[in-house]
């Protein structure tokens, strides 16, 4: 029986998936980092510092378009959270026609080249409807043609005890010459964790990294005074001089306060002012460390780069403890250990 799976990662981000893999352990079976790739320099530095500080040369800071796949080396498992901008429900949803849409094909190339025993692919829920649903069908078809049985599911991380409503399509693939059948890990063992619990219990240490206070303009502070927990800039009763003069779409997360009795709304990496996630009580945006808590990164996980770069990295990551749950389900599958499972679902 396999005891160690060597994991390669494309579009590795700051290491949410990698932390989950590194900390997954089932009856002595574990997952070890082999190599990783991302096009963003700060992201790669964060990954190296937290995941493989003794092996920095295994992280390739490079655009995947020019990455030499042959130099990466043999792996037993692949993870790729391929960039989701063109599949997101926020934005134009260009799908395959967009700059980022075809990037999943590099994961397919790695599957053909190295034939790992299993893979985990992650993307936003909006991928289901991109290009009238054709994009998702094509992606699944390519994975099957690469030699894998696939197990797609829409995971709602708040149902797994993650303090954030984050819905992601994740596909587990198992090489089709292997006898294992993956089951969706059950949500039953988990209780809801509120954003307030996640941020306040235990208190964030005074010397925690990436916890610089946020600076708000006087106007933003005044606007926030009128926004109640769970409200945003468009459904709160705000005086006209403080209202946003925005035409077109009114994104529900603009200056939205957290509801302390619920998980957070989705932490994002993109967007300007008003999208930084706002405290339920204090008139300010969350610090990056508070955002990292909602993504279930431990407090000693240090993000490299500017404050804005760190904000983007945290928003783009997979919740670290959510990743651990999924990787442990894979390990149990390969160990032949039965576990509680749910029926797959792609419904919101």
The catalytic residue positions are 84
Token output for 268: 């994002």
Q: What is the largest CA-CA distance in the chain?
A: 67
HSE, side-chain direction, 13 A CA sphere, residue 286: 31
Residue 5: which region, alpha, beta or left (left: phi > 0; alpha: psi -120 to 50)? beta
Per the DSSP assignment, residues forming a β-bridge with 8 are: 35, 78
DSSP per-residue string spanning 201-245: SSPPPTT-TT-PPP---HHHHHHHTTPPTT--TTTS---GGGS--
Instruction: Give, as one character, the DSSP assignment of residue 90.
Output: S
Per the DSSP assignment, residues forming a β-bridge with 154 are: 169
- Answer for the pair 35, 73: CB distance below 8 angstroms, yes or no: yes
Token output for 337: 């250990």
Strands 59-61, 29-38: pairing is: parallel
SS3 9: strand
- Answer for the pair 233, 254: CB distance below 8 angstroms, yes or no: yes
CA nearest 95: which of 66, 136, 148?
136
DSSP per-residue string spanning 143-199: HHHTTEEEEEEEEEGGGGT-SB--EEEEEEEEETTS-----EEPSTT-----HHHHH
- Answer for the pair 109, 10: CB distance below 8 angstroms, yes or no: no
Token output for 125: 């829920």
């Amino acid at each position: 029986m396999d005891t160690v799976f060597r994991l390669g990662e494309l579009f590795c981000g700051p290491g949410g998936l990698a932390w989950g893999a590194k900390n997954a352990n089932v009856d002595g079976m574990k997952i070890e980092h082999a190599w990783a790739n991302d096009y963003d320099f700060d992201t790669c530095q964060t990954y190296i510092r937290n995941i493989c500080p003794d092996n920095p040369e295994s992280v390739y800071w490079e655009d995947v378009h020019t990455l030499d796949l042959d130099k990466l080396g043999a792996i037993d498992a692949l993870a790729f959270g391929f960039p989701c901008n063109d599949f997101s429900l926020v934005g134009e949803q260009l799908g395959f026609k967009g700059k980022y849409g075809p990037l999943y094909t590099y994961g397919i190339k790695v599957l053909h080249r190295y034939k790992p025993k299993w893979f985990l692919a992650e993307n936003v829920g909006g991928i289901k409807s991109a290009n009238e649903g054709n994009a998702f069908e094509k992606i699944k078809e390519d994975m099957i043609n690469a030699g894998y049985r696939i197990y797609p599911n829409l995971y709602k991380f708040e149902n797994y005890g993650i303090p954030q409503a984050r819905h992601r399509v994740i596909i587990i693939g198992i090489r089709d010459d292997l006898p294992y059948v993956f089951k969706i890990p059950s949500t039953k063992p988990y209780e809801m964790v509120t954003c307030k619990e996640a941020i306040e219990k235990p208190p964030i240490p005074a010397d925690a990294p990436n916890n610089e206070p946020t600076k708000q303009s006087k106007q933003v502070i005044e606007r926030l005074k009128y926004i109640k927990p769970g409200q945003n800039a468009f459904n709160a009763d705000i005086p006209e001089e403080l209202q946003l003069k925005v035409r077109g779409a009114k994104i529900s997360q603009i200056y939205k306060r957290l509801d302390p009795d619920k998980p957070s709304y989705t932490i994002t990496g993109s967007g300007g002012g008003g999208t930084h996630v706002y405290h339920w009580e204090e008139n300010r945006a969350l610090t990056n460390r508070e955002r990292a808590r909602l993504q279930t990164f431990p407090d000693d996980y240090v993000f490299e780069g500017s404050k804005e770069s760190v904000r983007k990295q945290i928003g783009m990551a997979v919740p670290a403890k959510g990743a651990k749950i999924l990787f442990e389900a894979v390990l149990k599958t390969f160990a032949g250990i039965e576990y509680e499972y749910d029926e797959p679902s792609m419904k919101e």
